[in-house]
Structure 1
Amino acid sequence: MNTPSHFVLNLVLLGRVAAPSANGAIALGAILPDVPIFVFYAAAKLRGLPESEIWSTAYYEPFWQTLVAIGHSLPLALLGLMTSRAYGWHAGTFVCLSLICHSLLDLPVHNSDAHRHFFPLNDYRFISPVSYWDPNHYGHIAAPVELLLVLAATPFFFALTRSLPVQGIVIAIDLLYVFGYCRFYLLAPSGN
């Protein structure tokens, strides 16, 4: 699932049970697992690697895969959740709940790029038959479903926050998703 989708969906799913003071923690937990991927991509681009090598070879280097696994680890997020609850750390509780939500939303839509959600207990990767992006694995279906989920969640998101800058970010996400979907799926040449 795309990182902006986690931002919107996690806030809608978890923000309805939390006080508005938890929205920042939920947003952090929604985005945090993918930060190593953004850092990796920036480092790969600085090294001058072509896109094909970035995503076919460099992304699978053990160092980067370990960082990505840490961010997507359900056992580590559960440990953080139990620790936060034990010490009464409200923000930590919602960061960890959002980390868990991120991973659970990723599980059904990652194929060749599946994460090690049970790291460090084991290196198992659930290889879903569905990919959120790859048309060879129903990406042409998963992408519009993700788009529709985010668009449907937007009114609920607006009910959770009155912050105009944050609402503007969500409107920008919606517009980028609609534009991206039209560009890559509706306007793409046949056979892609």
Structure 2
Amino acid sequence: MMHGPVTDQDDSTSTAMGNTPLAVLQRALGLCNNVIVVFASIALIAACIILSYSVLGRALFHSPNYWQDEAAVFLLVGATFMTAAYVQSQRGHVSIEAFVGLLSERTNRIRLWLVDVASFAFCAFFAWKSWTLAHEAYVDGQVSNSMWSPPLAIPYVLMALGMSLLCIQLLLQIILPLTGGTRR
């Protein structure tokens, strides 16, 4: 069964025009996001290879590895959090569309803006707590409880960086409509 396009998916992103500081920031964040997506794709492939190697190593050679699960988790955490801003720039996060057809276009724009504000508030708190967690892990020298014992600051910093980039993306989406930015 096919449905027509949903109203808020037609105008998925806001864009600033010209060489204003917001436009420059938006282009820089877009470039940064595109580079991160490439590295995240490589990280996902690496996680698949690591886990496949682990399974084959145990099945064929009866030799367990003690590092593969954590290495894969670190790669997946990095890929997940670091690409959050890119996904948000495409409005690709899960959203509830129950009211879209019932509301006017203007009301839907206001609804999207309010969702961005609420999302920013949550993500800003999450980013702040992630940075404090990363700092504590680094200062205290926290490591995982495995034999490999990688520093926990690595995934925490990736989480904090990803949430910070997501906050910048959300802030752009909040400010652009207020400054006359157009939705494309």
Q: Same fold (TM over 0.5)?
A: no
Q: Which has the higher contact order (CA 8 A, sep 6+)?
A: 2
Q: TM-score, normalised by structure 2?
A: 0.38
Query: Larger Rg: 1 or 2?
Result: 2
Relative to the length of structure 1, the TM-score reads 0.37
